[in-house]
């Protein structure tokens, strides 16, 4: 009979677990869609530079053409995302306080 009471005790504590989980979701909500796009662009740029450094292979130029308009727009977007990351870094530092 003692084991039958155990699930009731666990159920009673479920709202506490939900509240704790919601608190962690609120901590990550400070990142906007623009922040995620900037991070994704920086990852693309980092992978591209890694390929250039390791294998002398420019993936963006391979996919879209050497110095084509699309390649230049992608390089520009990655550069702007890197500059935006300076702001994002200060935003992340403030969120830790």
- The string of pLDDT tens digits covering residues 40-80 is 999 999 999 999 999 999 999 999 999 999 999 999 999 99
Count of structural domains within the chain? 1
Domain that holds residue 65: 2-96
What is the value of pTM for the model shown? Answer: 0.64
Q: Residue 54 has which token pair?
A: 């390791």
* H and E: helices and strands count for the chain: 5, 0
């Amino acid at each position: 009979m003692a084991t039958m009471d155990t699930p009731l005790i666990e159920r009673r504590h479920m709202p506490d677990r939900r509240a704790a989980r919601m608190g962690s979701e609120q901590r990550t909500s400070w990142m906007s869609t623009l922040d995620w796009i900037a991070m994704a662009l920086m990852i693309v740029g980092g992978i591209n530079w890694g390929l250039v450094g390791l294998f002398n292979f420019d993936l963006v130029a391979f996919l879209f053409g050497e110095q084509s308009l699309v390649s230049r727009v992608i390089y520009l977007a990655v550069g702007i995302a890197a500059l935006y990351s300076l702001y994002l870094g200060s935003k992340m530092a403030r969120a830790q306080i």
